[in-house]
Amino acid sequence: MKLIILDRDGVINYDSAAYIKHPDEWLAIPGSLQAIARLHQAGWTVAVASNQSGLARGYFDTTMLTAIHHKLRKELAQVGGSIDAFFVCPHGPDDGCACRKPLPGLFHEIARRYDTDLTGVPAVGDSMRDLQASYAAGCIPWVVQTGNGEKTVKQADLPPTTHFAADLAAVVDQILSGH
């Protein structure tokens, strides 16, 4: 199985310090949906692993989160792409869960769902917690410079196997070309 794991906010869509609370606030980063479509068409399984503490904070509910993901799926389908599944941590930063990145719980859930070892699986994020969680799960962390990525790449303590790219489209270019 060719599996890739993507963070959502800052990788697929623009992030917001005020949280993405409604489908109208969800806006794809240029080229991201086409990049996912290219992966899908090349036989890759695309999973999303996303902290969504806005649920715990009461900024939106699961019905609204589902509506946001429906918009993402609809726009993605229009360019020939698909996301196999969304894995979401609904907890706040102080809830003590194992699924909130930087802990690898969401990644372990993905491994169980697909009955696979995540060693070497590319995982794309824009923040240090994305990279830490993916590295702890055995994935190859990729950091993009969209979202929080410009700030993240300047940090000195990135996981040792971190790969760098301008955006999701550049990650996909490298993965599909075998580099």
Q: Where are the alpha helices (DSSP H) in 79-127?
A: 105-114
Give the dihedral sign, CA 31/64/10/177: negative
Please enumerate in sequence order all residues whose Cβ is within 8 A of that of 159, keeping only pairs 6 or more positions apart, or say none: 131, 132, 134, 135, 141
What would the two tokens of residue 94 be? 């102080």
Determine the 3-state secondary structure of 126 from DSSP. Answer: coil
Positions annotated as catalytic residues are: 7, 9
What would the two tokens of residue 106 be? 């969401």
> Torsion-angle region of residue 96: left (phi > 0), alpha (psi -120 to 50) or beta?
left
**Spacing of C-alpha 150 from chain mean position:** 16
Task: Report the alpha-carbon distance of residue 140 to residue 160 in Å, rounded.
Answer: 10
Give the dihedral sign, CA 135/137/138/143: negative
